[in-house]
Structure 1
């Protein structure tokens, strides 16, 4: 594989942007990641790689469940290559819907075991977002630069990115900008697709204590181990872009988590944060070439499955850049809208 010169520019340093950059880099391409800085939705997350639970809870179609499973199956090799710690722990559902969820999992080919109102599967995994993002950044090294792209421009042979105090020439550009607006100068089709993405605010709380040894879900909340503590989550508030912690939402999450766990939590020890995810009209990412815009690609809008689908999206985007056919390209093709 020949190294690309000028580099491929990836705009955005969340899970999809960094995964795409890492995949391209290990295929031999020169990359440059433009990180606008600050927290992003990937860092304000529980790091769940949860095809079984997500497919059952969302009543996913068999095709979508298969996509989720394929995303999960890429993780062990990807994590080892990137230095990401991958946790294989049981995932548990507690609540009266256990029977219904068990039936859905079985119909979709996921293994689970049920005991009354408890359902447990070993199909799901978890990463710790801070460690995973840091590992990807470390693997990419000097390829990650801080800055904000103010404008995109086309040239006869490449793209030009205008940053504050810097200009970058790129052989191709991957937009991994989350739920943000289209970058000025982006082609009309890229702007149209960006306008289709719905922002969804998600609020999550960090506990200093660790009341669970593995992910425990139930109606209205989940509690997941994280570092020496745990996280309590998460809200899904479509149409909101603010990052303010909402006390009423926090209280509802704590109360729901207490019902799931069957014991009280000390709400005073929860530190609350929020992130804004992007969602396409069908809930699946936009990954691949922008129609009619040579050299411009998207890695956007995974809804709440950014960590689950990170390596899969990265592979689809890298294949598209290299002109290869990809098994999952049609499902994620930006041109489907």
Structure 2
């Protein structure tokens, strides 16, 4: 079969690669590949530390995608001959004060049912990451939460797909010549596709250079709750770090308040950040569904959508690609998953 895929972010590219691996022909349309949420993302593969209360339909998808990721990333790296930035460098989640420690302890009770979690004292946490400051009052070590560099990963996918990626915009799916169309265009409204309840959630993300004398500033992803606000610091293999991310639904553009908040909260956890140099500030809109679970499914006989991944687009891209491919090919999906990701599930409550 020939598939036309609208959208060349990480979800569209992973879906294209998945379908090609299954022996199908793909054409991917996007005027600016990997320029939106996938470009800004830090790339945490963190189903345990990302878990929150009251999202039971999201946990199984996150866990399943994390298990699929190593082999999927390996196949892309081997086929392309490129580094995709997959690192098994673990995660540390810290509390910034006594109130944050209560919040972290409550969340850890949920995390312990999902993956391997080790509670640490502040001293034990600093033994693992000496850059942690005196403001850290406790932590949780999550060895199974890893990371990938979305820019490297997507660059490898683009290289593999080559001329199959067409740098053109699609205004109406009915104008595409293909056996089936998959729309993985995030927030874009495309003609011939029903309007879905997708909202833009903007996130400010900073990239910083660490001075050579401080490298590595940290050796694993450090997440934290500081005065009730989440913040993360993700170290890259080249010595840089990614700092993020705010979550707001106001307007595009990098927020001065957001940048101030990120730097202040991250400095509380890792004081050495003050010695770093900001080399990039980005803000992109993440497509969110009303329940933060992706919307994946057929919207007509020849059109399947895959959107609404919100903060979990990088983590869920692999399971999303496989589910999207299965649905587009008419293969069975287990009923519970089908209900959870049904694009029309919100009509029942409207």
TM-score under structure 2 length normalisation: 0.83
Structure with greater strand percent? 1
Contact 1:98 1:114 in 2 (8 A): no
1:94-133 equivalence runs, <5 A: 94-95=94-95, 96=101, 97-106=103-112, 108-116=113-121, 117-133=138-154
1-structure distance, mates of 2:73, 2:278: 32
Tell which has more relative contact order, 1 or 2 (C-alpha 8 A, sep 6+).
2
* 1:75-94 equivalences in 2 (<5 Å): 75-83=69-77, 84-94=84-94
Does structure 2 conserve the Cα–Cα contact (< 8 Å) formed by 1:245 and 1:273? yes
- Note if contact 1:288-1:317 (Cα within 8 Å) is conserved in structure 2: yes
Residue 224 of structure 1 is matched in structure 2 by 234
User: In structure 2, what is the Cα distance between the partners aligned to 1:23 and 1:60?
Assistant: 31
Instruction: Tell me whether 1:245 sits opposite 2:241 in the alignment.
Output: no
Alignment match, 2:185? 177
Deviations 1:106-144 (A, max 9, x none): 1x2311111120111112121001100011111212211
Structure-2 residue corresponding to 1:265: 274
Q: Secondary structure at the match of 2:181?
A: strand
Return closer, same or farther for 1:305/1:276 CA change in 2, 3 Å cut-off: same
Give per-residue Cα distances to partners, 1:269-312, cap 9 Å, x unaligned.
3521111100111101111211xx11101110101000111011
How many residues get paired?
A: 305
> Aligned in 2, Cα 1:198/1:282: closer, same or farther, shift over 3 Å?
same
Measured in 2, the distance between the counterparts of 1:264 and 1:36 equals 36
**SS of corresponding position for 2:41:** coil
Structure 1 distance, partners of 2:206, 2:3, is: 36
- Structure 1 residue runs of 5 or longer lacking an equivalent are 154-159, 162-168
Counterpart-to-counterpart distance in 1, 2:279 and 2:218: 15
SS in 1 for 2:172: strand
| RMSD of aligned alpha carbons | 1.7
Distance change in 2, residues 1:64/1:42 (3 Å): same
Report the Cα offset of residue 61 of structure 1: 4.1
Q: Give the match for residue 264 of structure 2.
A: 255
Give how far 1:228 is off: 2.5
| Deviating more after overlay: 96-105 vs 312-321 | 96-105
Q: Which residue of 2 aligns with 1:205?
A: 206
How far apart in 1 are the matches of 2:260 and 2:279? Answer: 10
**Mapped partners of 1:322, 1:152: distance in 2:** 18
Match of 2:40 among 24, 44, 57: 44
Shift of 1:65: 1.8
